[in-house]
């Protein structure tokens, strides 16, 4: 038999590969990148908030002062001064030795899954929850269980009922993706009580916490229960996502394994980017910059709420009033399906993400199918007005 008569190489995929599927959101985003579409679909921070001039100055300074070190291999833990800055900026006592710099906070989810999840391990999530977390956990083949949640966040009794043998509870308390909701002080206290009583470990994700509009959210869970919590943070929403810089704070006993997983995953996060971010943040830059992001996003949320108030009466749509972050959550009238609505909305020039993708294992639940996520930060106020009007027309058509 000649070489060119041979069958193709019989690549065998790992079992976990069957669980890997294209992100529904990324697929939708491809459709909605068509020029002229007003997109409430993506979770893209407004590029007008990126401190381009400051990054330019920081890049020059880093390369001039420390170019070879910034371009060399570096410690897996992250750049020392950046780790110290992160530890000092958090509202509880954190040793810089507990801080691991990650390639975006998405990598934090990958590392947590590698270190804590075996095939079949039980992991608890909110209902609904961040889709990227489900994707990061999925290759480790856990059993993902949704915990009942409402506008105030997760419901402690249901959490307690499901805590037994769970490897951890993944929770996004502030301006959650996808719902925009914030966990109340009372709910946080009740959650911590359950965690301590049942020994349930927590993984707290807080990419949006700084983006509050009128008042800061209640203290993080990690501040209340540091030994029982891995905390994930991000620079994507306060600086820029294109640097891919996030971090995690781990209890000292867990840190070495997370570090070893990090080393095996990509050796370290880019040294140049870490130094640039640190440089930009010198001299209280964030204290001046973040209030501008808050003011912008608040005005865009207000524009979306005003447009909804104007366009939606009589259509049976319900929506919430997020107090920060990037997303608003809406419910169509009972029996109307957001997946069916999407193509009609796109025809009229507006896009959103159907909410069902965010419900772990309950994507077909009629309550999940009614929901949609609307981002208010990527479109301008004028686009928000036109987009919500177009969405109202599309809803009118299907109801």
Distances in whole angstroms, Cα of residue 118 to Cα of each of 138, 168, 198, 252, 279 = 11, 12, 20, 22, 39
Site for its own copies in 226-285 (CB under 8 A): 227-228, 236, 240-244, 251, 253-254, 256-257, 260-261, 263-273
Instruction: Please answer whether residues 354 and 338 qualify as being in contact, where contact means their C-beta atoms are separated by less than 8 angstroms.
Output: yes
Neighbour order of strands in the sheet with 122-126: 99-102, 246-249, 229-234, 202-205, 166-171, 122-126, 143-147
If binding means CB under 8 A, how many residues of this protein chain bind its own copies?
Answer: 95
Closer residue to its own copies (CB): 194 or 317: 194
Q: Which residues contact 10 (CB under 8 A, 6 or more apart)?
A: none
Is residue 315 reached through a cis peptide bond, with omega within 30 degrees of 0 on the bond before it?
A: no
Helix (H), strand (E) at residue 173: none
Q: What is the distance, to the nearest Å, from the Cα of residue 94 to the centroid of all Cα atoms in its chain?
A: 23
Site string for its own copies, 56-95 (x = CB under 8 A): x--xx--xx--xxxxxxxx-x-------------------
Least Cβ distance, residue 250 to its own copies (angstroms): 10
Using the contact rule CB under 8 A, the part of the chain among 135-143, 205-213, 283-291, 360-368 near its own copies is: 135-143
Least Cβ distance, residue 59 to its own copies (angstroms): 4
Residue 96 in the binding site for its own copies (CB under 8 A): no
Least Cβ distance, residue 347 to its own copies (angstroms): 25
Closer residue to its own copies (CB): 67 or 335: 67
Using the contact rule CB under 8 A, the part of the chain among 106-114, 172-180, 205-213, 302-310 near its own copies is: 106-114
Site for its own copies in 310-369 (CB under 8 A): none
Q: Which pair of tokens denotes residue 152?
A: 């105030």
Instruction: Please answer whether residues 248 and 220 qualify as being in contact, where contact means their C-beta atoms are separated by less than 8 angstroms.
Output: no
32, 103, 127, 179: which one contacts its own copies (CB under 8 A)?
103
Least Cβ distance, residue 7 to its own copies (angstroms): 7
Q: How far apart are CA 3 and CA 156, in angstroms?
A: 63
Least Cβ distance, residue 377 to its own copies (angstroms): 12
Q: How far apart are CA 16 and CA 84, in angstroms?
A: 37
39, 98, 135, 174: which one contacts its own copies (CB under 8 A)?
135
Least Cβ distance, residue 79 to its own copies (angstroms): 10
Instruction: Please answer whether residues 168 and 159 qualify as being in contact, where contact means their C-beta atoms are separated by less than 8 angstroms.
Output: no
Closer residue to its own copies (CB): 140 or 356: 140
Site for its own copies in 165-184 (CB under 8 A): 167
Site for its own copies in 20-49 (CB under 8 A): 20-23, 26, 42-45, 47-48
Q: Which residues contact 396 (CB under 8 A, 6 or more apart)?
A: 315
Least Cβ distance, residue 195 to its own copies (angstroms): 7
For the chain, strand residue ranges (E) read: 38-39, 99-102, 122-126, 143-147, 149-150, 153-154, 166-171, 202-205, 229-234, 246-249, 318-319, 327-331, 350-351, 353-354, 371-375
Least Cβ distance, residue 399 to its own copies (angstroms): 33
Closer residue to its own copies (CB): 228 or 316: 228
Closer residue to its own copies (CB): 71 or 306: 71
Q: Which residues contact 108 (CB under 8 A, 6 or more apart)?
A: 100, 102, 205, 230, 232, 246, 247, 248
Using the contact rule CB under 8 A, the part of the chain among 54-62, 320-328, 330-338, 384-392 near its own copies is: 54-62
Instruction: Please answer whether residues 377 and 326 qualify as being in contact, where contact means their C-beta atoms are separated by less than 8 angstroms.
Output: yes
């Amino acid at each position: 038999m000649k070489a060119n008569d041979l069958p193709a190489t019989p690549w065998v995929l790992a079992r976990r590969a069957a669980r890997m599927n294209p992100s529904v959101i990324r697929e939708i985003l491809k459709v909605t990148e068509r020029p002229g579409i007003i997109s409430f679909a993506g979770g893209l921070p407004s590029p007008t908030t990126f401190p381009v001039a400051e990054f330019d100055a920081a890049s020059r300074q880093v390369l001039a002062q420390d170019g070879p070190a910034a371009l060399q291999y570096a410690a897996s833990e992250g750049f020392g001064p950046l780790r110290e800055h992160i530890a000092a900026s958090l509202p509880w006592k954190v040793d810089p030795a507990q801080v691991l710099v990650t390639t975006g906070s998405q990598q934090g989810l990958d590392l947590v899954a590698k270190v804590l999840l075996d095939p079949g391990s039980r992991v608890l999530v909110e209902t609904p929850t961040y889709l990227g977390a489900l994707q990061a956990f999925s290759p480790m083949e856990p059993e993902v269980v949704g915990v009942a949640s409402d506008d105030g966040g997760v419901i402690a009794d249901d959490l307690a009922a499901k805590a037994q043998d769970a490897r951890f509870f993944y929770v996004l308390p502030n301006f959650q993706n996808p719902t925009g909701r914030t966990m109340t002080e009372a709910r946080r206290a009740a959650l911590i009580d359950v965690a301590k009583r049942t020994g349930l470990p927590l993984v707290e994700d807080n990419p949006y916490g700084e983006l509050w509009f009128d008042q800061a959210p209640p203290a993080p869970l990690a501040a209340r229960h540091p030994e029982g919590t891995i905390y994930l943070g991000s620079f994507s929403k306060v600086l820029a996502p294109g640097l891919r810089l996030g971090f995690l704070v781990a209890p000292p006993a867990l840190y070495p394994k997370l570090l070893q997983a990090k080393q095996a995953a990509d050796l370290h996060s880019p040294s140049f980017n870490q130094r640039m971010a640190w440089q930009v943040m010198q001299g209280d830059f964030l204290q001046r910059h973040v209030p501008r992001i808050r003011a912008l996003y608040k005005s865009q949320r207000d524009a979306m709420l005003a447009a909804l108030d104007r366009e939606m009466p009589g259509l049976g749509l319900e929506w919430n009033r997020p107090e920060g972050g990037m997303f608003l959550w809406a419910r169509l009238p009972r029996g109307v399906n957001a997946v069916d609505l999407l193509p009609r909305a796109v025809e009229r020039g507006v896009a959103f993400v159907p909410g069902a993708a965010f419900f772990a294992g309950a994507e077909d639940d009629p309550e999940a199918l009614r929901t949609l996520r609307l981002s208010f930060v990527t479109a301008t106020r004028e686009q928000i007005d036109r987009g919500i009007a177009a969405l109202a027309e599309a809803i009118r058509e299907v109801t």
